[in-house]
Structure 1
Amino acid sequence: MTYATTEDMTSRFGEQDLILLTRRQNSPIGQIDLTVLGQALDDATSEINTYLSGRYQLPLSTQPKSLTRICCDLSRYFLSGNNAPEHIETRYKDAVSFLRAVNKGDISLGLDTTGNKAEQNDVAIIESAGSVFARDKATGFL
């Protein structure tokens, strides 16, 4: 199972872009080559898993939405080959930086080590020592 689908790629980058990126010698004319796209999504998922495997038990039982975006960016870069424009290459580098930060533990996916959604217990608590300036404590000053 991949972190992104054909529909995710189409909604992010458009059908025309994917038709051009997946065009190969034997591809159907004017259509997205689903075999080529599927291979790119598999490759991106595999790369994501190499970074996650040190921190999480795979496969993840809950998939964060950020991994769908990362998978789409990686797949698009892989489809571009050696001709990746600068903006696609930048998004690829940003995705890899994100994955490295997750691997180091600098960024959390919001999951526990088994891949389930982590329990949140980060509630803000405000404590006060009381008011410093009160009329009853002013002793004639106020």
Structure 2
Amino acid sequence: MPYTSLAKLTAKFGEHMLISLTDRGDVATDAIDTDVIDQALADADAMIDGYVGVRYALPMETTPPLIGSLALAITIYNLHVASPDPKIEEDYKAALRTLRDISGGGVRLPIAGADAPGTGSSGARLTDRERPLTQASMKGFI
């Protein structure tokens, strides 16, 4: 299940923008090309899964609102063939920073029981070894 949809893209960016970004055929159809949208949605989902899958079990049962927002920013950026508007580019860069924070554990998603299993270690690991300097080995020096 994609993290966002054509309906959400249309609500946020408008039908006119999506037509101009997806109507790439030799003959203009003045309609949104759903195949182009589907590919951009799949690419955004794969990128998000790559970052989120480091910390959380996939697939997610529900899509957190933050992930849906990130998917919108990444998808609209990916739809641009030429240089996007500076706002869209900044939103894309911010989405990547947020994904890195999620991957690193700085941002926690509200997904119950979806944390990927950890090592169980919470700090320094100490091992004790036999001491080379004992009373018997130091005989004659003490």
TM range (shorter): 0.7 to 0.9
Task: Using the TM superposition, give the Cα deviation of residue 84 of structure 1 relative to its aligned residue in structure 2, in angstroms.
Answer: 1.3
> C-alpha separation between the residues in 1 aligned to 2:75 and 2:6?
11
Matched, 1:94 2:94: yes
> C-alpha separation between the residues in 2 aligned to 1:13 and 1:30?
16
Task: Using the TM superposition, give the Cα deviation of residue 105 of structure 1 relative to its aligned residue in structure 2, in angstroms.
Answer: 0.3
> C-alpha separation between the residues in 1 aligned to 2:56 and 2:111?
8
Cα deviation 1:92-113 (Å, max 9, x = unaligned): 0000001000000001111245
Query: Which residue number corresponds to residue 43 of structure 1?
Result: 43
Number of equivalenced pairs? 115
Change (3 A) 1:114 1:43: same
In structure 1, stretches of 5+ residues that fail to align are 116-142
| Mapping 1:67-86, distance limit 5 Å | 67-86=67-86
> C-alpha separation between the residues in 1 aligned to 2:75 and 2:14?
14
Task: Using the TM superposition, give the Cα deviation of residue 27 of structure 1 relative to its aligned residue in structure 2, in angstroms.
Answer: 7.0
Matched, 1:15 2:28: no
**1:10 partner amino acid:** T
- Whether the aligned pair in 2 keeps the contact of 1:9 and 1:72 (CA below 8 Å) is yes
Change (3 A) 1:63 1:29: same
In structure 2, stretches of 5+ residues that fail to align are 116-142
After superposing on structure 2, the runs of 4+ consecutive aligned residues of structure 1 that deviate more than 3 Å are none
> C-alpha separation between the residues in 2 aligned to 1:66 and 1:43?
17
Query: Which residue number corresponds to residue 111 of structure 1?
Result: 111
| Mapping 1:100-139, distance limit 5 Å | 100-114=100-114
> C-alpha separation between the residues in 1 aligned to 2:55 and 2:43?
20
**1:88 partner amino acid:** I
RMSD: 1.5
> When you count helix as a share of all residues, which structure comes out higher?
1
**Larger Rg: 1 or 2?**
2
Task: Using the TM superposition, give the Cα deviation of residue 68 of structure 1 relative to its aligned residue in structure 2, in angstroms.
Answer: 1.1
> C-alpha separation between the residues in 2 aligned to 1:76 and 1:27?
23
- Whether the aligned pair in 2 keeps the contact of 1:27 and 1:33 (CA below 8 Å) is no
> C-alpha separation between the residues in 2 aligned to 1:39 and 1:26?
19
